[in-house]
Amino acid sequence: MNMDELKRQAAARALEHVRDGMKLGLGTGSTARHFVDLLGEKVRAGLNVVGVPTSEATRIQAEQCGVPLTTLDDVDRLDLTVDGADEIDAALNLIKGGGGALLREKIVATASDRMIVIADDSKWVDVLGRFPLPVEVIPFGLAATQRAMAAAFAQTGNSGHMVLRKGKDGHVFVTDGGHCIVDAHLGQIADAPRLAGLLTAIPGVVEHGLFIGLADLAVLAGAQGIRVIERR
């Protein structure tokens, strides 16, 4: 079974948590795409749900699949968000943002009663940080922001190098919100909760890819089948 089939299995298991009448956060990325596809099949078969997409790419896909959409301006809370992750640790803390949608993903996850993370089991790690940590920043004062980020890394016992993300065309990557992303290559992240707080306090940082205490359930698909982990 290839990686794509494993991701679809995880998405199918998460879909079992969806009930008629739910308001859903719709994630971004390769695994979340499978969930939106499968959700669209259920909607066409009569399931009554409404979704809030976490990116323009997800919005376009959901519309193509026939999933009704709304915004967080029109609903107070979401029942459930289903999204992928770049890394997941045993406490269900996450690194997200590999696809560049971390800001909207975190807004939607925070507005949800529950968050289910779906992934193939290669995303499961003992310590976060093998995947570069995305930090969304405004372009103004970028060097000053990076110096403040380096200080935050040092305060928490982390070190590594930072790279301004480029798109496939070689130009600076721009998020749906019009910001840039700095990818911090830290190897292993010491004291992720404290680092998250320090990064949030930096004026030039819009958001970061550490999702601490947001995921309630992880559905991991691997060669041995589906593994479901609840946050302790």
Set 16, 56, 87, 105: catalytic member: 105
List, in order, residues 6 or more apart from 88 with CB less than 8 Å away: 94, 117, 119, 123, 124, 125, 215, 218, 220
Q: How many CB atoms lie within 10 A of CB 111?
A: 16
Provide the edge-to-edge strand list for the sheet that holds 80-83: 50-53, 23-26, 80-83, 115-120, 217-222, 225-230
| Residue 105 known to be catalytic | yes
Q: Which two tokens stand for residue 121?
A: 């089991």
Q: What residues act catalytically?
A: 105
